[in-house]
């Protein structure tokens, strides 16, 4: 049919009707088509990347120590059991840092937050407790030198391991069992979802263990100096040789304790005085050195040990260097 025969019954101009129809059609179409909003970009905190990188390095380094001790039957003395406990705790701490990064950006939920913080608290607590146990073992090995290698020492070592891991696991379970600040933001500490009281207990416990380690290392220094003096008299060493040997042993102990304090003391003190209202950059800046302690621990306690060096050389190249097989233990090897 010809368009000229169409009748305009409304009495309105045809151009007006065409414009109105177009608006109605566009409105109907827009109401039916869903609006697609752009997805928000994933912004990653650089501090979290650094923590995840530290966790990766911690995991790789301590996994080597755990494998060496686990697969070498000769490394079953109390000292190696405690070093293995330290390496295992640091390994779990590194894994916890990696999992925390993954969960924070990919699988955010209350359950993942609680599990992650529980793993991190338990592993770092076990690491610090293992350091204290190693210090106790070193003191006993020097103070009871004649009776140290006995069955009672092995039993005491197992008791220490059970106690330190049991305590650490209990501390890690506290946030999961309900002691967290997910329901009350005002009770949060610098590490969410840990409560301020929980963080205070952890910090005070650390200060107490640090005081014990300091006292034990002072006693160890006295014993080392006395032993070095006795050896010098028996073998008619020169006074300068005795002085150098003693100074080396005391310096080693000072480095061990100083490194531990430098890594953990900033975060410990900050956790006592700060809360969730403080800028997060301060939390990252004090927490990062604490993670470095788990990187340094294998170097101080494992890779400096002659037996572990031998086992590592056997794994890597299938032989033991003559410098290791002929090396004699000195009073400085504490």
Domain boundaries, the chain: 40-325
Q: Is residue 49 packed enough to be buried (19+ CB in 10 Å), middle (13-18) or exposed (0-12)?
A: exposed
C-alpha distances (whole Å) from 267 to each of 121, 214, 263, 289 are: 13, 19, 8, 8
The tokens of 131 are what? 């350091």
Q: What is the pLDDT of residue 74?
A: 84
CB 207 within 8 A of CB 232: no
Alpha carbon 313 to chain centroid, angstroms: 27
Helices of type H across 236-279: 239-273
CB 242 within 8 A of CB 229: yes
Q: What is the pLDDT of residue 312?
A: 83
CB 54 within 8 A of CB 25: no
pLDDT string in tens for the chain (334-residue length): 444 444 444 444 555 445 455 455 455 545 555 555 555 566 888 999 999 999 999 999 999 999 999 888 888 888 999 999 999 999 999 999 999 999 988 887 888 899 999 999 999 999 999 999 999 998 988 888 777 777 788 899 999 999 999 999 999 999 999 889 988 888 899 998 899 999 999 999 999 999 999 999 999 888 888 877 677 666 655 555 545 555 666 777 788 889 999 999 999 999 999 988 999 999 999 999 999 999 999 999 888 888 888 888 887 776 555 555 555 444 334 5
pTM, 2 dp? 0.81
In angstroms, rounded to a whole number, what is the distance separating the alpha carbons of residues 88 and 132?
A: 15
Q: What is the pLDDT of residue 237?
A: 54
292 C-beta neighbours (distance < 10 Å), count: 16
3-state DSSP call for residue 294? helix
CB 189 within 8 A of CB 275: yes
CATH topology of domain 40-325: Rhopdopsin 7-helix transmembrane proteins (1.20.1070)
SS (H, E, C) 181-211: CCCCHHHECCCCCCEHHHHHHHHHHHHHHHH
Q: Which residues, 6 or more positions from 136, have their beta carbon under 8 angstroms from its beta carbon? A: 160, 216
Helices of type H across 144-195: 151-176
In angstroms, rounded to a whole number, what is the distance separating the alpha carbons of residues 132 and 321?
A: 32
In angstroms, rounded to a whole number, what is the distance separating the alpha carbons of residues 298 and 84?
A: 10
In angstroms, rounded to a whole number, what is the distance separating the alpha carbons of residues 286 and 277?
A: 16
**Residues, the chain:** 334
Q: What is the pLDDT of residue 1?
A: 44
| CA distance between the termini of the chain | 108
In angstroms, rounded to a whole number, what is the distance separating the alpha carbons of residues 185 and 295?
A: 33
3-state DSSP call for residue 11? coil
Q: Which long-range contacts (CB under 8 A, 24 or more apart) does 222-231 make?
A: 223/139, 223/142, 223/143, 224/142, 224/249, 224/250, 224/253, 224/331, 224/332, 224/334, 225/249, 225/250, 227/142, 227/331, 228/331, 231/331
Phi, psi of 279 (to 5 degrees): -60, 140
């Amino acid at each position: 049919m010809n368009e000229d025969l169409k009748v305009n019954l409304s009495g309105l101009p045809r151009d007006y009707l065409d414009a109105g129809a177009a608006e109605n059609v566009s409105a109907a179409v827009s109401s039916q088509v869903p609006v697609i909003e752009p997805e928000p970009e994933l912004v990653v905190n650089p501090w979290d990347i650094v923590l995840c990188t530290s966790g990766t390095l911690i995991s790789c380094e301590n996994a080597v120590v755990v494998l060496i001790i686990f697969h070498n039957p000769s490394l079953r003395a109390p000292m190696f059991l405690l070093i293995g406990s330290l390496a295992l705790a640091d390994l779990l701490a590194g894994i916890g840092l990696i999992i925390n990064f993954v969960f924070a950006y990919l699988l955010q939920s209350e359950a993942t937050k609680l599990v992650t913080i529980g793993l991190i608290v338990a592993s770092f607590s076990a690491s610090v407790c293992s350091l204290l146990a190693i210090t106790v073992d070193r003191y006993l090995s020097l103070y009871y030198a004649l009776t140290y290698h006995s069955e009672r020492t092995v039993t005491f070592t197992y008791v220490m391991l059970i106690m330190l891991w049991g305590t650490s696991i209990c501390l890690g379970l506290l946030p999961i069992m309900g002691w967290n600040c997910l329901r009350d933001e005002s009770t949060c500490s610098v590490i969410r979802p840990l409560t301020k009281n929980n963080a205070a207990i952890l910090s005070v416990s650390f200060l107490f263990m640090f005081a014990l380690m300091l006292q034990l290392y002072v006693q160890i220094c006295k014993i080392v100096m006395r032993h070095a003096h006795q050896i010098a008299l028996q073998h008619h060493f020169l006074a300068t040789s005795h002085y150098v040997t003693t100074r080396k042993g005391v310096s080693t102990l000072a480095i061990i304790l100083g490194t531990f304090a430098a890594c953990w003391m900033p975060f410990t003190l900050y956790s006592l005085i700060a809360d969730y209202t403080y800028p997060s950059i301060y939390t990252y800046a004090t927490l990062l050195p604490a993670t470095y302690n788990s990187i340094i621990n294998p170097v101080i306690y494992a890779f400096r040990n002659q037996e572990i060096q031998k086992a590592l050389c056997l794994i890597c190249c299938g032989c033991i260097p003559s410098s290791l097989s002929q090396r004699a233990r000195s009073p400085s090897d504490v």
